[in-house]
Structure 1
Amino acid sequence: MEIIYLHHPYQEEEIPNEEIVLALGYFDGVHTGHQAVIRAAKKEAEQRNCKLAVMTFNQHPSIVYKKLDAESMKYLSILDRKIELMEALEVDYFYVIDFTYDFGTLRPQEFVDQYIVGLHAKAIVAGFDYTYGPKTIADMAHLPTYAKKRFDIIEISPQVAENKEKISSTSIRQALDDGDMQKANRMLGYLYQFEGRVMHGDARGRELGYPTANIKVGKQIRLPKTGVYVVSIEVQGKWYQGMASIGYNITFEENRDKTVEVNIFDFDRMIYGEKVKVRWHHFLRDEWKFSSAQELITQLEKDAVDTKSYFMAHPEEMMNEAID
Structure 2
Amino acid sequence: MIQDWREVPPELRGATIALGNMDGVHRGHHAVLQAAHAARPGAKLGVVTFEPHPREHFRPDDPPFRLTLLPAKAAALGAAGAAVVFALRFDAALAGMPAETFFAEVLREGLGAVHLSCGQDFAFGHRRGGDATVLARLAEAAGIGTTIVPPVVDAQGPISSTRIRRVLQDGYPERATAMLGRPWEIRGAVVHGDKLGRVLGWPTANMWMGRHLEPARGVYAVTVALPDGTEAKGVANIGRRPTLGGDPETRLETYIFDWSGDLYGQEIGVRLVKFLRADAKFAGLEELKAAIAQDAEDARAALG
Q: Quote the offset at 1:253 in angstroms.
A: 2.0
Structure-2 residue corresponding to 1:28? 23
Q: Quote the offset at 1:272 in angstroms.
A: 2.6
Aligned pair partner of 2:52 in 52, 59, 76? 59
Q: Quote the offset at 1:122 in angstroms.
A: 2.3
Pair 1:213–1:16, CA change in 2 (3 A): same
Aligned pair partner of 1:139 in 131, 137, 144? 131
- In structure 2, how many angstroms separate the alpha carbons of the residues matched to 1:294 and 1:62? 44
AA paired with 1:59? Answer: P
Identify the range of structure 1 (30-39 vs 101-110) with the bigger mean alpha-carbon deviation: 101-110
Structure-1 residue corresponding to 2:40? 45
AA paired with 1:156? Answer: V
Structure-2 residue corresponding to 1:151? 144
Pair 1:123–1:271, CA change in 2 (3 A): closer
| Structure 1 unmatched runs, 5+ | 313-324
Pair 1:85–1:297, CA change in 2 (3 A): same
Q: Quote the offset at 1:220 in angstroms.
A: 1.2
Q: Quote the offset at 1:269 in angstroms.
A: 2.6
Percent identity between matched residues is: 30
Pair 1:293–1:74, CA change in 2 (3 A): same
Q: 1:1-324 residue pairs with structure 2 within 5 A?
A: 3-6=1-4, 10=6, 14-16=9-11, 18-46=13-41, 49-64=42-57, 66=58, 68-69=59-60, 73-118=64-109, 119-133=111-125, 137-147=129-139, 148-161=141-154, 163-217=155-209, 219-237=210-228, 238-254=230-246, 257-312=249-304
Q: Secondary structure at the match of 2:32?
A: helix
AA paired with 2:161? Answer: S
TM-score, structure 2 as length reference: 0.91
- In structure 2, how many angstroms separate the alpha carbons of the residues matched to 1:236 and 1:264? 13
Pair 1:122–1:171, CA change in 2 (3 A): same
Q: Quote the offset at 1:87 in angstroms.
A: 1.3
Q: Quote the offset at 1:70 in angstroms.
A: 7.5
Identify the range of structure 1 (261-270 vs 199-208) with the bigger mean alpha-carbon deviation: 199-208
- In structure 2, how many angstroms separate the alpha carbons of the residues matched to 1:282 and 1:92? 33
Flag as ranges the 4+ runs of structure 1 deviating above 6 A.
Answer: none
Pair 1:202–1:93, CA change in 2 (3 A): closer
TM-score, structure 1 as length reference: 0.85
Aligned residues: 301
| Structure 2 unmatched runs, 5+ | none
